[in-house]
Amino acid sequence: MTRNILLVGAAFAALSLVACGPKTEETKGAATPTEQAATPDANPAATVPTMSDETKADVFAMKAADSDMFEVEAAKLALKRSTNVQVKAFAKKMQTAHTLSSEGLKAAIGVSGAAITLPMALSSDKQTMLDDLTKADDKDFDKAYADSQVDAHQAALNLLQRYAQDGDTPAIKTFAAGLAPTVQEHLNMAEGLKKGFVN
């Protein structure tokens, strides 16, 4: 049990090291990233009513794992296909960060004692997203990757914020709340990347 708690802590520490983007100055009295992560209103898109099954640890864990797998596979594809330095740097960070968040999720499940078996393959939705990215023309690939990263990180952030607020398992709620600020940074970076490809 103590080892699992240490693993969760180590995963969060590692994630903070690979958190992307410059740190923004916080104004006095501003909510901390963790407080924002635990409050769905911190992100207007997260005010969509929580689907009842998303408050269950097994459903959350499946979706979070699916998101991480997509990020890692999309990053590998971008590292092979892109010739853009910024895209490749972003993809490398995503591969590292989402590998670490997968480890953190597994550790949180271990701490919780929940009997959850994570998926080994992408869901049909995420596989379709990856297939579309794979089929993109070389000249359109970077823009397609940036677009997919905005969509995927927004969905992941919504999921994390919802579970941090309404989830049914404390250790996994802590994981969700702790990871949300990093995913918000990734989303901000993806949006910046996308702006570079707007015609």
Q: What is the mean pLDDT of residues 51-74?
A: 92
* pLDDT for position 39: 46
Range 75-87 burial, b when 16+ CB lie within 10 A, else e: bebbeebbebeeb
Q: What is the mean pLDDT of residues 122-127?
A: 96
* pLDDT for position 168: 94
* pLDDT for position 48: 45
* pLDDT for position 21: 42
Angle at which helices 170-195 and 57-81 cross, to 10°: 30
Q: Which CATH superfamily is domain 56-195 in?
A: Ferritin, core subunit, four-helix bundle (1.20.1260.10)
Average pLDDT score, the chain: 82
User: Has residue 125 got a pLDDT over 80?
Assistant: yes
3-state secondary structure 68-101: HHHHHHHHHHHHHHCCCHHHHHHHHHHHHHHHHH
* pLDDT for position 52: 56
Is residue 74 within 8 Å of residue 130, measured between CB atoms?
yes
pTM over 0.85: no
The percentage of the chain sitting over the pLDDT mark of 70, rounded to a whole number, equals 73
pLDDT one-digit tens code per residue, 134-188: 999 999 999 999 999 999 999 999 999 999 999 999 999 999 999 999 999 999 9
* pLDDT for position 58: 95
Q: Structure tokens of 14?
A: 């590692």
* pLDDT for position 54: 84
